[in-house]
Amino acid sequence: MEGVIDYAGLFPPASLATGPAIKAYADARGGADSWMLGRFVCSASRLGELDGHGAGLFRADPPFHFAAIGRGGATPGVFLEGLAADLRVIGEFEARHPDEVRFDVFEVKLPAPVLTDSRPALSLLEAVGEVISRHAARPPPGFLRGPAR
């Protein structure tokens, strides 16, 4: 059960602001139940907000582990543009905090049109591989999901 609970304080029901959320996660890392604490969940597009709040916190051992949520997109083209932007933001964040942060997971919602036909889905997955190879020096494991039911 070690590391089984990811911290998603930026999202409902907590919906904390960036500063309080990263501080609560840092405090939990030092608490009695830290053994069960997993990653800090953050939208890739919001990672830059952590710089002002987390810079001192990130120096603590062990490195902060993140699950980044991608922006997705309604169409394959918009999805791929968003993926490239998210991977750039993640790479820049890692470069600003070397040896202090790790991205273990990248989760993104697939565009609905590719979920109903295998041909566009296969084309999109091939394109995803190309985007990852161009924009991610060290890509985190990905998790692609369809629409909520």
Going by pLDDT thresholds of 50, 70 and 90, the confidence category of residue 113 is: confident
Mean pLDDT of 108-126: 81
Name residues whose C-beta falls within 8 Å of residue 38's C-beta, 6 or more positions apart in sequence.
3, 4, 5, 6, 7, 65, 67
Please give the pLDDT value at position 136. 73
Q: What is the rounded average pLDDT for all residues in the chain?
A: 87
* % the chain with pLDDT above 70: 90
Would you call 11 helix, strand, or coil by DSSP? coil
For 66-102, the pLDDT digits (tens) are: 999 999 999 999 999 999 999 999 999 999 998 899 9
Residue 124 has pLDDT above 70, yes or no: yes
Token pair 């369809």 in the structure block, residue: 146
Enclosing domain of residue 27: 5-145
Please give the pLDDT value at position 149. 46
pTM of full prediction above 0.75 = yes
Going by pLDDT thresholds of 50, 70 and 90, the confidence category of residue 24 is: very high
Residue 135 has pLDDT above 80, yes or no: no
Alpha-carbon gap, residue 121 to 114, rounded angstroms: 5
Q: What's the domain count of the chain?
A: 1
Residue 15 has pLDDT above 90, yes or no: yes
Please give the pLDDT value at position 54. 66
For 41-54, the pLDDT digits (tens) are: 999 999 999 988 76
